[in-house]
Amino acid sequence: MSHEGIRFITEEEARRAQAAESELSVEAKTPAKVRVDKTGGTGMEIEWKDGHTSRWTFGWLRDACPCATCHDEREKSGRRPGEAKAKPQTLLPMYQAPPRPESVTPVGRYAISFHWNDGHQSGIYSWDYLRRHCGCAECATAP
């Protein structure tokens, strides 16, 4: 019996997949306040209507870009949203500026979009996507 085409997932991946399938309440995926610290370069914070607060660094957000190109690249390399690409090992690594948005734009009432300093701008970060990828300790241990 062949196991070709069968992919075994970790318990963590199974938990995340189950969480992704569960429906979030309207309050859980509706922001009350959104703060983007372009000047300080620290990242983004959202206070949700259900009282929860989520925070992301710009590095995490850039590495979690939900556009089709970035999603496919992450999937092929086995990376999760927010996980950085492996840097090639070279004798003299090239300097790369840290990710920062040059502009931030609301997308309707359901998302936010960034024009990154590396020129990338096709990702639309829905409120649902961001809430599902909250990296706080409470959300990381939630069933």
pLDDT for 5: 57
pLDDT at 20: 58
pLDDT at 15: 66
Quote the pTM value: 0.80
CATH class of 32-83+98-140: alpha beta
pLDDT of residue 30: 96
Residue whose pair of structure tokens reads 């990828």 in the numeric block: 133
The per-residue DSSP string of 57-103 comes to -HHHHHHT--SHHHHHHHHHHTPPTTPPPPPP--SSPPP-PPP-EEE
Q: What are the mean pLDDT values of the chain's consecutive 10-residue runs (143 residues total)? A: 60 65 87 95 96 97 97 94 86 84 96 97 97 91 72
